[in-house]
Amino acid sequence: MLLREKKCHTLKAVTLSNPSRCILYLSECWVGKTHDYRMFQLEFPPEKNWFADFRVRVDLGFLGIEKEYKCKELLIPHKKPKKQELTQKQKAENKVRASERIVVEHSIAGLKRYRILSDRLRMHDLDLYNVILGVCAGLWNFRLSC
């Protein structure tokens, strides 16, 4: 008898959070194979000045953001050049930026405290899943405010 693993279809969402880990924006879910930066472009079209007054911290999944979006300050890590290494200064800058950006990961981890989001869920109704995701984000923000 052969045992096969069930395939999990990944869902992703764009989240924006502040330094106090509060989730400020949560997009609807996207198919897992959609690139992060493409989702970001569709959620926030570059024609508008969405982030002109904000300090923005992103990871390397958002390469190209500096060309299309105007930000007060953009903090993106240095990418390792092909067949070369980063300098010690670049590594130190990446470490500082990662320590600032970890707040976003903590807010996502706060969402995953709710088991309906972290466990395998065989739900075919994407609209219902979007509602569940929004409710969990609201509960997380409520927990932070209390």
**Helix, strand, or coil (residue 136):** helix
Cβ burial, residue 84 (10 Å; 0-12/13-18/19+): exposed
pLDDT tens per residue, range 12-25: 899 999 999 999 99
Looking at the domain assignment, is residue 120 inside a domain? yes
Looking at the domain assignment, is residue 28 inside a domain? yes
> pLDDT band at 124, cuts 50/70/90?
confident
> How far, rounded to the nearest angstrom, does the alpha carbon of residue 72 sit from its chain's CA centroid?
20
Q: What is the helix (H) or strand (E) element at residue 11, kind and residue range?
A: strand 11-12
Number of domains within the chain: 1
pLDDT of residue 6: 53
Q: What's the domain range around 70?
A: 11-79+87-145
Looking at the domain assignment, is residue 5 inside a domain? no
Q: Assess whether pLDDT exceeds 90 at residue 61.
A: no
Rg from Cα positions in the chain: 18
pTM comes to 0.81
Looking at the domain assignment, is residue 3 inside a domain? no
Looking at the domain assignment, is residue 2 inside a domain? no
Looking at the domain assignment, is residue 4 inside a domain? no
Q: Assess whether pLDDT exceeds 80 at residue 90.
A: yes
pLDDT of residue 134: 95
Looking at the domain assignment, is residue 6 inside a domain? no
Distances from the Cα of 138 to the Cα of 91, 95, 132, angstroms: 36, 31, 10
Per the CB < 8 A criterion, the answer to whether 112 and 12 are in contact is no
Per the CB < 8 A criterion, the answer to whether 76 and 94 are in contact is no
Looking at the domain assignment, is residue 1 inside a domain? no
